[in-house]
Amino acid sequence: MKKTSRKAAVELPLNEILAGDCIEIMNSLPEGSVDLIFADPPYNLQLKGDLHRPDNSKVDAVDDEWDQFSSFAAYDKFTKDWLAAARRVLKPNGAIWVIGSYHNIFRVGSELQNQGFWILNDVVWRKSNPMPNFRGKRLTNAHETMIWAGKNEDSKCTFNYEALKALNEGTQMRSDWVLPICNGGERLKNEAGEKAHPTQKPESLLHRVLVGATNPGDVVLDPFFGTGTTGAVAKKLGRDFIGIEREEAYRKVAAKRLSKVRKFDKESLMVSASKRAQPRVPFGQLVERGMLLPGEELYSMNMRHKAKVRADGTLVGGPDVSGSIHQVGAQLEGAPSCNGWTYWCYKKDGKTVPIDLLRQQIRAEMN
């Protein structure tokens, strides 16, 4: 761990719910100290009158005071201010996720781009059990949109490709996620038995976000903490969280919820890693260690080319064709690049085997 991050960690109020306005509080936190922000800002819903189901029961609409904005201009100013404060507390390689609906997400997305955030993906949360459209005047509003953006164009954001691929049973995770809405036992109730928050997000959604975009020990900030879904999942997954919430009622519910959450054991938090994380093995080492001999011939995967190993770990593939395993492979194939480890094979007991097997052998010994 680097000294700077250790220092920041000491100053940060970790695993707490901070009371107050998120813009003021974020501005009071040290600059560049947070790995990830997950934000579920007010949606600026402009509902006209009450909405009734066909049986005349009233739909419990999102009409709380905090969700009323007089105009797009006011909402835009609010968005601009909290995004700027959020950007300030992010580490240079930090990222942000914002969730919204068509009422607000276009304003948010535009402002993200205006401030220099770099959009990595927009992600659709496809609700498997949405509320139907009772009036039959529109399509069933069955999804919400999340924007995933880096602090800058060149931010090296965390992306656990292999872990998300594993979550999706071996094929790349797509930008559309099918997950149920939060209800049943997971949906928090207040003392009166009503839902404690109008837009509580499901933990499954946050699980995927945090597994994919953070590592254990990372600091995750949620400026609109609500009932604390972000904090609950962060705690379970061994990430630190900072929650900011203005409403006392929500803070109370969230605090109670978090006190009951336990972290998963360490082994289960390990996640499938990519090859990129493994130590580099120079091809020359195979020759030095006698696994391949100078003068020995290698064959291309497709058996169309061959090349000879030299004592210094380079290959010769013909007149004027020599260099690293990658360079010679690329040159023979007329390709811009080539992974020599998977391209070249050697003869072993009459069979042709990729040289990558020898690298794996060395890597195994290193553990």
Task: Find the binding residues for DNA in span 146-205 (CB under 7 A).
Answer: 156, 161-162, 165, 170-172, 180-185, 187, 195, 198-200
Least Cβ distance, residue 7 to its own copies (angstroms):
29
Site string for its own copies, 62-81 (x = CB under 8 A): ----------x---------
Q: DSSP per residue over 265-291, as a string?
A: PHHHH--PPPGGGSPP--THHHHHTTS
Residue closer to DNA, measured from CB, 12 or 330:
330
- Is residue 350 close enough to count as binding DNA by CB under 7 A? no
Contact with DNA (CB under 7 A): which of 12, 17, 26, 67?
67
Site membership for its own copies, residue 293 (CB under 8 A):
yes
Residue 10 or residue 73: which is nearer to its own copies going by CB? 73
What is the pattern of x (binds its own copies, CB under 8 A) and - over residues 214-253?
Answer: ----------------------xx----------------
The backbone torsions φ and ψ at residue 101, rounded to the nearest 5 degrees and listed phi first, read -120, 180
Ramachandran class of 362: left when φ > 0, alpha when ψ lies in -120 to 50, beta otherwise: alpha
10-49 binders of its own copies (CB under 8 A): none
Residues 109-148 that bind DNA (CB under 7 A): 113, 118-121, 128-138, 140-141, 144
**Run of H or E residues at 206:** helix 203-213
User: Using CB under 8 A, which residues numbered 185 to 204 contact its own copies?
Assistant: 186, 202-204
Per-position DSSP letters for 321-367, written without gaps between them: EEESHHHHHHHHHT-S---HHHHEEEEETTEEEETHHHHHHHHHHH-
Q: How many residues does the chain have?
A: 367
Count of positions on this chain that bind DNA (CB under 7 A):
83
Cα–Cα distance for residue pair 235/90, rounded to 1 Å: 20
- What CA–CA distance (Å, rounded) separates 367 from 358? 15
